[in-house]
Amino acid sequence: MEDVKIYGLCLERLRHQIANAKKKVNSDGSLVQDRFLLESYNTAEIDDIIDILELYDVVDKTVRHVKEKLEELAYTVSLLLSETIAFDLTDNAHLGLYLLVHNESPRILEQETVTVR
């Protein structure tokens, strides 16, 4: 079996958060949202994101390289959890981790709003 990195994410915590999000979806019988915010990191600063998520193997601290690493991380964790998750920007332009219910495309992949120090 090949080793995988999940960096600063906790699978057990994410499973719990996903279960809570699904309860909200199922509580009223209707789906109002296509995605649910599981975690917010309250920053869009590259250095902060690298520290919070422990992405220390990102050598080139550019928006493009960090986005690529976040995409890889979300893909890996999605496979491990059998759920679709993605990093995206919150309404406050901070990095967040979302459960995607209908495989909505994350905005972070289309915007250059993450700031570099």
What's the average pLDDT block by block, 10 residues per block, for the chain (117 residues)?
A: 81 94 71 82 96 94 95 95 95 95 56 42
Assigned token pair, 49 = 């994101």
Q: Is 4 within a domain?
A: no
In a domain, 6, yes or no: no
Residue 21 within any structural domain of the chain: yes
**Would residue 32 count as lying in a domain?**
yes
Residue 115 lies in a domain: no
How confident is the model at residue 105, as a pLDDT?
54
pLDDT for the residue numbered 92: 94
- Number of structural domains, the chain? 1
- Give residue 84's pLDDT: 95
The verdict on residue 2 lying in a domain is no
Question: Do β-strands 95-100 and 85-89 pair in parallel, antiparallel, or remain unpaired?
Answer: antiparallel
Range of the domain at 95: 11-109
Residue 105 lies in a domain: yes
Looking at residue 114, its pLDDT comes to 44
3 within a domain of the structure (yes/no): no
Residues 6+ apart with CB under 8 A from 80: 4, 6, 11
What does the alpha-carbon distance between residue 10 and residue 92 come to, in Å, rounded to a whole number? Answer: 24
Q: Which two tokens stand for residue 1?
A: 């079996």
Return d(Cα 66, Cα 109) in angstroms, integer: 11
